[in-house]
Structure formats: structure tokens, C-alpha cells
Chains A and B, each alone.
Chain A
């Protein structure tokens, strides 16, 4: 019964193998400073410590070896009886077991093969840009009134997006220079003329990423820019000339330059 034996071995070691893929991927991401593509920086240390502990147990599992054969036959029998699909199980159960193995092996493989990436406009479309309120420690209109010109230049997409939610009074934005970096997503209502310079905010991990963005009025932007391209836009906010867009205020860009993906693509 070589097949049963193989399946049995697979069952015994699948946890260690799957754990190895996660641990290897985690440690490599940490070494290359890319763990923040998946989790908030505050969890990086904890995640790495636990990955190293898991690594110790993985290596120890190997060192303890096959574990069957000598006097541990009861273990193997036990695993057989309950895990390996047997005649007692229906075809459906067997199919589910096989599907589960295939899915987890595929994901394990993707962990060590697929190059890490940031979320794309596909997700920001699903999650509707600026749809929810913003976090606790954002700039308020009052704070912004007292800030210096240099401070405005350092404002992120998130800072501006939260100000835009609070005030659509154009005089407030007069003389306040905007300089933001983000990726391009199209405006739902007026995709011809308006796009967003957007970022994702991550509170825990990429799963909870919420898109925020600054609307930019630039007719024909699609000739020069592609979706998901990273850009740096400078200019000032004015009344949005677009009739279709729901945004009252948009950036009137002085310059839109294509840039590389920043080291920290998410805002935290």
C-alpha cells in the first residue's frame, strides 16, 4: 500500500511543511523589510519572534525524525484510523480532504514563490475610496489653520483626505501647497477627467486596508498615466470643475510625475 503510506506521511508532516513555508516567507519578508506589505509595523517584532520559535520547533521535529517504526507504531495506526481517507468515508469526504490538501499546498507554494506586492486599484474599487471616516489622530481644520507652509508640504494623502471631508470651503485651501504621493485610481463618476492619488491605510494587516485619496482634476489623464501607477502630484486645491464628479474640491495640478513605489506603500 505505497499510496496509503505516502498519504500517511503527508498527513504527518503537512503541518511542519506548511509552517515551514510561512516561517521562511515571514523571515525573508522581515529581512527584506517587506513585512509591512502585509502587517502593521507594530506587529513586526512579535511576528518575527514567533516565527523564530516556530523555526526551532520545526527543526526539532526533523531532529526527532520519522518517529514511527520503533515502538511508536500506535501513533501511525492512530493517524491512519482517523485521518487517511478510508473505505468508511464517503466519496465526498475524500474529495474534501483532497481539495483541502491541494488548496493549502497551493497557498503554501504561493507564499514562497509569488513576489510580494501591494494591494491594487482592484481592492480600492471594492472598498470605495474615502467611504468611511478616518482614524483618531488625523489633522483637524483648526490644527491646519495654524500650520506653516512647510507643514502642508509634508501632509500625506490621508491628511488632505480628512481635511477635504471636514471642509469644502475653497478659501481654506488657498495658498496651501499640496505635495502628495500615491497610486492612480479613477473617479467613479467622472473617470475621464478626475483621478485619485490614493493610498491604503492599514490598521492591522492588509485585509483591513482602507483606501483614501485626493481627487485630481486632469482631463485626459489616461493618455499619460495608467491605473495603479505611482505618481507625485503637486498643486493647490480649487473648486472641482468636473460636473459629473461628486467631489466638490479637487487638486489643480502644477505637476504630475511618475515615481517608483515607496518603501512604505501603506499609511499606518
Chain B
């Protein structure tokens, strides 16, 4: 019955790749790409007399986009893999039933899926569609950027075992992700945490599971995820680039040696700079001489999840209200962590 209905609704499903229409689209698309490339080559030496500030704004925004894009692509590809190529039962089979143990295991998933935070957003979206609860996906989103091999290695390269920065980052990241996941699991209406748009996308995905051929579903998912994630990435980059040009860095650096202010300054810096968790340790290393270790840990725990770029990306999935709550919660917890490390140091 279902089979019949499907073939009725999708008479061209199998052949659609070779219809004349699709050849035209392919030609248009490839010509468009070549056109873009030609435009890029032609404008390479354009003598634009752009004022310094504007020039730097463009350079900084571009650099955020160029730096994040590979991780976004990787995240989308992993999300496609999870949604289309991994059988539903397979991943759930290894998950403990107990919600606390389940979230604890989920927060370690980043070890196997080493994407940076921007790639985690499409992946987390894929996991929700695949059956994770909203709070579980949030645990994943908060933990994976910190508890993944690349981040751990780069943090170790930068700091070694100095001042317990590495240990505090790993343990703190794990705890914060699980606390936040627990808090949101208490919310009575899990679907209400999601944007209307994404929630309806989940329903569509439920209804049309297994309908299309796998390859065309993969490509379709790429197109959909790209159209959600890329505008958010672009806007996040523009805001991040703009703030870099407008806010003098010295305002933050002068606050460095006070136990409390240094933590707040580092959170603001992490928020503004919107840098990937895989490399933020190298970035913050030069600050280690002027800032207290607790504030470095706060930077390393707060920054991976909460920053301008990430909020823009996460807004594709969660409501503004939820994002404000997550931001406040993570800020308080990571500040607390920083104070503890400062007190021990």
C-alpha cells in the first residue's frame, strides 16, 4: 500500500537524474560556478581604494568564514552520514537507558566525531532528527567541541599540564554540558525549545524517512543544511568582524590581573573572537602571562559554545529564549569554574 502510494507520487524518482531538465540545471550551475571563478580572477587586482577600517572589517569577516567553512562542511557531511547512512537502531543500541548515563555517553561522542563547534550545529540537528531528545543534543553541542581529540591535543600542546588548565577544561566542559543537559531535560515541552521551522522539519523527516534514494537524499540534505547554516555563519562572521574593528582590545587586556574581572574580560573576549575550539588554546596562550589561569580556563570552556558566531548558528535550531538561558547558565558555570581554578592556583 505504502509502496503503491509512493510510486504514484514519485513517478520520476529513479530517473530524475537523467531528465533533460536536470541537464539544463547542471549546465546552468556549472556555468554559474565558472562565472564566479572568472569574476574572482578578473577582480583580483582591482585597485579599490577602500578605507583601512572597512578593508580590515572585510578581511576579518572573510577570515572567520574561510576558517569555519571546512568545519561546517565536515559537520554537514557527518550529519548526512548520521541521518541517511547509519541505521537508526545502530546508534541507539549502544546508548544506556538511564538519562544521566545516556547524557554522559553522549557528551563523549565528540571523541568519535571530532568536529569543531560550528560543524556541531548541523550534526546536532541531524541527531535530533534521528531521535535524540533536545536536551541530549544540547549536551552533545556543549561537550563535543571540548571533549574531542583535536581540542585536547592542541590544548596540551599549548599549556601542557600547567596550572591544571587542561584538566579543568576537560572536566569542566564535561560537567557543564551535563548540568545544562539535565536542566533542559526538566523542561516539560521539549519540542517548544526548538524553532518552529526546525520542529516542522523534524516532523517532515519523520514522515518521509527512507523515501528517496540515498544519494539524492544526501544531496538534498546538503542543500537544505547549507541554506540554513551558511546565512547564519555569514551573519555571525559579519558581526564578529565588525566588533573586532570597533572595540579596542586594550580595554580587555587591562583587566587581566584581577581574579574576578579577568574572568569576565576573558568571557567577553571569547564571545567576541568567535574562534574554533580546536585552536583557541593557541590563541589564548599569549594571554597566559597577563591573565590568571582561572580566566584562561573560563575562556577555554565558555568560548567553544557561546560566542557571536555560535549563537547565530544555534539560532537556526533553538528559540531565542533557550539561547539566552543557555548563555546565562554556561556563563555562570564557567565563571564558577574559573574562580575555583583561581582559588586553587
Contact = CB atoms under 8 A, between A and B. Distances in A.
Interface of A: 11-16, 18-29, 32, 35, 37-40, 43, 46-47, 49-51, 53-55, 57-67, 70-72, 74, 78, 81-83, 100-101, 103-104, 107-108, 110-123, 125-128, 131-136, 203-208, 210, 228
27 contacts: A11-B227, A18-B230, A25-B40, A38-B63, A40-B279, A47-B69, A55-B33, A58-B33, A60-B219, A61-B29, A64-B17, A71-B13, A103-B235, A104-B231, A118-B59, A121-B52, A128-B253, A132-B287, A135-B282, A135-B285, A203-B279, A204-B280, A204-B283, A206-B60, A208-B273, A208-B275, A208-B283
A39 B11 contact: no
A96 B29 CA distance: 28
Interface of B: 9-13, 16-17, 19, 21-22, 24-26, 28-30, 32-33, 36-37, 39-41, 43-46, 48, 50, 52-53, 55-56, 58-67, 69-71, 73-74, 77, 158, 196-197, 200-201, 204, 208, 215-216, 219-220, 222-231, 234-235, 237-238, 240-241, 244-245, 247-250, 253, 273-276, 279-280, 282-283, 285-290
A24 B37 contact: yes
A28 B44 CA distance: 10
A123 B245 contact: yes
Contact of B290 (A26, A107, A133, A135): A133
A158 B158 CA distance: 18
B10 A71 contact: yes
Contact of B22 (A63, A71, A83): A63
Contact of A119 (B59, B197, B248, B290): B59
Contacts, number: 275
Nearest to B45: A115
Main secondary structure of the interface of B (DSSP, over half): helix
Contact of A15 (B56, B201, B223, B235): B223
A38 to B, nearest CB: 4
Task: Give the interface centre of A16, A39, A208 by most chain B CB atoms within 10 Å.
Answer: A208
B67 A38 contact: yes
B287 A62 contact: no
A13 B227 contact: yes
Contacts of B282: 135, 203-204
Given A20-B36, A104-B231, A110 B62 contact: yes
